[in-house]
Amino acid sequence: MKPPPLPPAPRPPRIDAELLPSNWWQWVAENRLRDCTPESMLQTMLAADLPRAACEAALAQIESDPVFAAARRMQQLHRKLESVLANQQRLWERVPYYERVEKRSHVSTDEFMSRYVHGCRPLVITELARDWPALSRWSAADLKQRFGHLDVEVQAERHKDRRYEQNKLELRRTVRLADFVDQVVQGGTTNDYYLTANNEMLRRPEFAPLLADIGSLPEFCDRSALSRACSFWFGPGGTITPLHHDTLMLLHTQVVGRKRWRFVSPLETPRVYNYNGVFSEVDVDAPDLARYPRFAEVKVLEVVLEPGETMFLPLGWWHQVSSLELSLSFSFSNLAFDNTFSYQNPEIQDW
C-alpha cells in the first residue's frame, strides 16, 4: 500500500498584512527584482516610518512568496532579451563610424533606404531644403507680421514641473502669437516656454502659407501627405526636449538657429530608465550616474544641426534636443513607405 502523502511543508508564518500598506508590498517586490539589497531597502522603509518588525518580515517573506517566484522566472526572459539587445549593440559599435552622425549633401533613395532606414542610422542631409522659401523667409518678425493675430497653443511655466514633457497637457496655454513672439525675442535664454509639435497649428487653414514655404521634397517623401504629417517648432535658445523616442521615423529641418541633438541607440533601452511611455528619466546633458548607474555604459552620439540642415531620425533612437539660440524648425514624417510601428509602452508609474 502506498503511504499517505506527506502533509505540505508548513508555510513560514505570515506577518499581518495590515502592518505594511499594500503598496509597500509591491515596492518590496519591484525593488528586489531590481536587485536592490534588503539592507538598503530596509533603510528606505524605516525612513518612511514603517514598523521595523513588519519591514524585516516582508523582506524575508518575499523571497518565498510563490507570486514573487513567478516574477523571478519571467525576469529570466527579460534578462535574455536584454542580452540579445546588448550583443546586437556591440556589433553596431564595431562599425568605425558608429559614434559619428554623418552629414551628407545628397543621398540617393536606394542608399537612404539601405544605409539609414534599414540600417537604422541617424543622418544629417545638408541640402534637402535648399530650395525652400522658408529658409529665407521665416524669422520671428515674419511670424509676428503674418500670423501674429492668431492664437496658438504653447507650453509654459515648464520650471514648475521636472517632467514637463511627460506632463505637457497640464502646461498647455493658449496665447496670441504676436505676444509669444515678443516673449521669445525679449526673454533671452530659457527653457520655460516653447511652441512644440503638439500645437497642431499646421493643421489649421490660417497657417497654410507656412506650408507653401516648404519647397521640393526628396522622392522618399510623399508630398500629398505632408499637411497631415508635419509640425512646427518655435522657441528661445535654451529649450530642452528631454530624452525620448518617437514611434515612427521622421525628418526635422532646422530653419532658423541651431540645435544640439544627442542620440542613444534603441538597443540601449534597458539602460535609459524608460519607466513611462516613450520617456527616459535620464538627462543626457548631465546624467545623474549615482541614481541611474546603467547609463554610464551608454554611448551617446552628438551633432549640431545648423540652419538649412535636415535630421533623419531612424526608428526608435532616443534623442534629447537643445536649442542653442532662438530657433524655428519644421518636422515631417510623410515618408513614402510604411512608417507605422507598434509599441507596447511600459506605463509604469510611481516607481
Q: ∠ CA(59), CA(61), CA(62), 5° rounding? A: 70
Report 183-222 residues binding ligand AKG (CB under 6 A): none
Q: Which three cell numbers stand for residue 202?
A: 499646421
**Binding to ligand AKG by residue 252, rule CB under 6 A?**
yes
Min separation Cβ 351 and ligand AKG, Å:
23
Q: Interacting stretch for ligand AKG, rule CB under 6 A, among 141-149, 185-193, 239-247, 273-281?
A: 239-247
CA angle, residues 108, 342, 67, in degrees to nearest 5: 145
> Minimum distance between the CB of residue 327 and ligand AKG, rounded to whole angstroms?
7
Q: Is residue 158 at the binding interface for ligand AKG, with CB under 6 A as the rule?
A: no
Residues 150 and 206 sit within 8 Å (Cβ to Cβ): yes
Binding mask 256-295 for ligand AKG (x = CB under 6 A): ---x------------------------------------
Q: Which residue is nearest to ligand AKG (CB)?
A: 241
Residue closest to 298 by CA, chosen among 338, 336, 345, 263 = 263
Least distance in Å: CB of 319 to ligand AKG? Answer: 6
Cβ proximity of 122 and 156 under 8 Å: no
Which CB atom, from 149 or from 172, has the smaller least distance to ligand AKG? 172
Dihedral in degrees, nearest 10, Cα atoms 207, 213, 219, 222? 10
- Tell me the site size for ligand AKG, rule CB under 6 A: 10
Would you give the binding string for ligand AKG spanning residues 299-328, x where CB under 6 A is met? --------------------x-x-------
Residue that is written with C-alpha cell 536584454 in the block: 82
Task: Tell me the H-state helices in the chain.
Answer: 22-33, 38-47, 52-61, 66-93, 109-111, 134-137, 140-147, 177-187, 208-212
Nearer to ligand AKG, 45 or 246 (CB): 246
Please, which of residues 42-101 interact with ligand AKG by CB under 6 A?
none
What residues pair up with 151 in beta bridges, in sequence order?
176
Residues that bind ligand AKG (CB under 6 A): 233, 239, 241, 246, 252, 259, 319, 321, 329, 331
